[in-house]
Amino acid sequence: MSRNVISAAVIAGLVGLWMAAGTFTVEETATAQASNPTLAGSTVPAGGLSRVRVNVIAAEFRARNVILRGKTEAKRMVDVKAEVAGGVVARPVERGMKVAAGDLLCELALDDRGVAVQEAQAALETARIELQGSRKLRDDGLLSEVATADAQARKESALAHLHRQKLNLARTRITAPFDGLVEDLHLNVGDYAVPGETCVRLIELDPMLVRADVTESEVENLAVGQDVTGISLAGRRIAGQLSFVGTQSDSVTRTYPVEVTVDNRDYSIRSGLTVTMSIGVEKVPAHLVASSLLSLDDTGALGLRTIDDSNRVVFSPVDILEDGFGGVWVTGLPDKVNLITVGQEYVAPGDIVDPVFVSKSGDQVALR
């Protein structure tokens, strides 16, 4: 017998043994499955249907929230500036101090401004006397109307000059235009201030604003006055009301600006904090399910495996509403749904299954 014939016979024998072993394995597996059915769907009962565990779950109304991410911003930040020139003789504030509207921030030297006010007052008094005399002479026919009008004009000019000098005197006291916090200092005692030079930077922290942007798909669900809750990266919780919803979108992002007003009387909320905000816009029916039951179909859609009245497996697309205690809340399902909770990974949409219905506690309640 040639070497080639012997080799072929050996190979044929090995292939035959391998095929026989596979046949025995399949038969043993089928026998084991028939004698030990489980709820995991990995076994095939005598009827040829995969057995799965099913829970009947009902929808509950949950608030649907619009989630925004924004930053806290001071309502106003102003550089309080000098309006007249003069040496700084007092600056009673320091960085971080709270001030009220009208409190002194910087005081400039009076120089001759007090004297200028006195001179203007004297000039006004003279102009008044001259006007009175002119009117008397006019009434006696000794002075023309033109001369009387000229005296009236001199009196008005003297009054305006006095007002200007009083303003210059008052402007030596640079005061806070609103309640706020001194954020920065620019002038010290001994410095010489010129008009337009900043004395201090004042920041208004109450109320605090939280600014964010909302997509065009959600902006129609927002309205001024809605309650808003939020949490900062540091875990601080805040609450406020929606105070502004933009009407013009950003040309690049196509989002709309929104503002939330937050009470901050104790100045404890800082400007510039990153905040995640939640705005409840409506109540929708939702189901609480274990996140492990969620899967993707061939198109990449997120959903759950359920069964219909014919015990046929159905892939039901869902949207995640929010995380909940013990699972996730999802929308997109009927009010009541037969949810496969065990064995869903062993069945595919369209399969007919043998369901075992269980209660929420896990007790078997029915076979169908």
From first to last of the 368 residues of the chain, give the pLDDT tens digit: 443 444 444 344 444 544 444 433 334 333 333 444 444 444 444 457 889 999 999 999 988 888 999 999 999 999 999 999 999 999 999 999 999 999 999 999 998 888 999 999 999 999 999 999 999 998 888 888 899 999 999 999 999 999 999 999 999 999 999 999 999 999 999 999 999 999 999 999 999 999 999 999 899 989 999 999 999 999 999 999 999 999 999 999 999 999 999 999 999 999 999 999 999 888 889 999 999 999 999 899 999 999 999 999 999 999 998 887 789 999 999 999 999 999 989 999 999 999 999 876 555 555 55
My answer on whether 100 and 145 are in the same domain is: no
**Phi, psi for residue 258 in degrees, rounded to 5:** -135, 155
Q: How far apart are CA 139 and CA 145, in angstroms?
A: 10
Query: Do 193 and 97 fall within a single domain?
Result: yes
At 294, give phi and psi (nearest 5°). -75, 145
Following CA atoms 278, 284, 285, 290 in sequence, which dihedral angle do they give, to the nearest 10 degrees?
-20
In a domain, 27, yes or no: no
Q: Are residues 107 and 178 in the same domain?
A: yes
Which pLDDT belongs to residue 362?
Answer: 55
Instruction: Give the pLDDT confidence score for residue 178 in this predicted structure.
Output: 95
Within a domain: 14: no
Q: What is the pTM of this model?
A: 0.62
> Based on the domain organization, do 177 and 103 belong to the same domain?
yes
Listed residues 148, 181, 202: the one ending a domain:
202
The CATH number of the domain holding residue 143 is: 1.10.287
Are 198 and 87 found together in one domain? Answer: yes
What's the pLDDT at 45? 46
Tokens matching residue 137: 């002479």
What is the distance between the alpha carbons of residues 269 and 285, in angstroms, rounded to a whole number? 36
Residue pair 88/190 in contact by the 8 Å Cβ criterion: yes
Q: How many domains does the chain have?
A: 4
Tell me the one-letter amino acid at 97: M
Is there a single domain that holds both residue 216 and residue 272?
Answer: yes
In this structure, is residue 12 part of a structural domain?
A: no
pLDDT of residue 278: 92
Write out the residue range of the structural domain in which residue 142 sits: 115-166
The 3 state secondary structure assigned to 245-261 is ECCCCCCCCCCEEEEEE
104 and 184 belong to one structural domain: yes
Decide if 17 is inside a domain. Answer: no
Which pLDDT value is given to residue 142?
87
37 cis-preceded (ω within 30 degrees of 0): no
Based on the fold, state whether residues 337 and 355 are members of the same structural domain: yes
Give yes or no: residues 198 and 266 share one domain: no
- The CA-based angle 244-250-253, given to 5 degrees, is 120
Assess whether 197 and 87 both reside in one domain. yes
Question: What proportions of the chain, in percent to the nearest 5, are helix, strand and coil?
Answer: 25, 40, 35
Which of 228, 255, 282 is the endpoint of a domain? 282
Looking up residue 270, the CATH number of its domain turns out to be 2.40.30.170
Yes or no: say if 357 and 311 are a contact pair by the CB < 8 Å rule: no
Same-domain status, 148 and 237 = no
**Confidence at residue 248, expressed as pLDDT on a 0 to 100 scale:** 94
Last residue of a domain, one of 256, 282, 308: 282
Tokens of 47: 């009827």
Residues 244 and 263 in one domain: yes
pLDDT confidence of residue 83: 95
DSSP secondary structure, 352-368, as one string: BEEEEEE-TTS-EEEE-
